[in-house]
Every structure is written in C-alpha cells, then in structure tokens.
Amino acid sequence: GEELSITWRDVSERIAMEQALQQRAATDSLTALLNREEVLTQVERLLAGDQRRGGELAVLFCDLDRFKEVNDRYGHQAGDAVLQAMADRIRSCLRTSDLAARIGGDELMVVLPGVQGQDDAVSIAEKLRQLAHDPVPTPAGDVHLSLSVGVALACPGESLDELIARADAAMYAAKKQGRNQVVAIGCASPEAGA
C-alpha cells in the first residue's frame, strides 16, 4: 500500500499545481479579478446561452478617472493600492453569478447576467460609481477618485465585439460629459441599420 499513497499524493499535488496555473492564467495578478481574455471567453459563453434563454445580459465598462495623475503624483504603489481597493469594492456589491475583470491599466469590466433590463444595470453601475468615492488609503496618503461607467445591454443577435464596443463607447461618452457618471447606450433601432 506504500507505493500507492506516494503516487496518489504526487497526482493530487500536480492537479493542485495545474489548477493554480489555470487560475493565474485566468486572473489579473494585481487585483485577482478575471483578466481580459478570460472575461471575454465567459461573456461569449453567456451570450450563446442567453440567446436561447432570452435572458438579459449587461456589460459595464468602468474607468478610473484621471488614474494617470494618481500614479504621477503618488507613485505606482499608490496606483496599485487604488486598483486593489476598487477591485474589492466591486466584488463587495456583485452577486455570485456576476463577473468582474481588469481589462486594461485602469479599466475594469463588470458583467451582469440576468439583469432586469437597463434600469437595473444602471442602478448597479451607480452603486459602483458611488463606492469609488470613498478615499483609498495608500502609503502616500488618501487618494480620492471617481469612476466613469459605460453600460450596454446585449441586443438580440449581437456579437461579442458589438456589445463590447457599445459598452466602451458609453464609457467614453461618460468621460466626455465630465467624468464621474454613468452613461448607457441602448440597442440601435433596426431601421437605423437598414
């Protein structure tokens, strides 16, 4: 029985290592949120499933306003602390089925499967925007930030790229309109594309 227990331990250790590797590949090392590739894969899967179910799926693009200034003024350590704090705050107000990812330097993405329509998605985005207001304590002092959020609900038959592009455009509109706000871009009416 001795040999058996050794190989079993080796196997379970190897499985644990592989899982850790997979986890690392799927998450952003700084915030432990999903990374861009992983979240897009999962949204694609949700879209495929949603078209059968007819459920509502919302994507929120969240961008930390003037994040570069934080890095310039307080240093990168403070910038990292801000991103980690924001990641924790986002996690604190999401349901287990929701996804949160870091898709770029200071860009975070939240995916809400099964929302009750655009108003529901916008109110969650508002909650995130308000959470961003609490100062983040860093080694270099408290950092005050705001968040611009773009909201897009998946439209019937829409591709992943189209959905992401709309959420992105909504976030840029929020920045253009003076930052620190939530902007939603709905589905284009069918005749607009004709």
* Residue type (1 letter), 87: A
Name the active-site residue from 28, 65, 106, 168: 106
Residue 164 — φ and ψ, nearest 5°? -65, -40
Q: Quick count: other Cβ atoms within 10 Å of Cβ 47? A: 18
Residues in contact with 33: Cβ distance below 8 Å, sequence separation at least 6, in sequence order: 27, 87, 90, 91, 100, 101, 102, 108
* Distance between CA atoms of residues 128 and 50, nearest Å: 25
Three-state DSSP class for residue 6: helix
Is 106 designated active site?
yes
Q: Which two tokens stand for residue 105?
A: 């330097």
User: Helices 36-53 and 160-176, interaxial angle, to 10°?
Assistant: 110
* Distance between CA atoms of residues 87 and 167, nearest Å: 19
Active site residues: 106
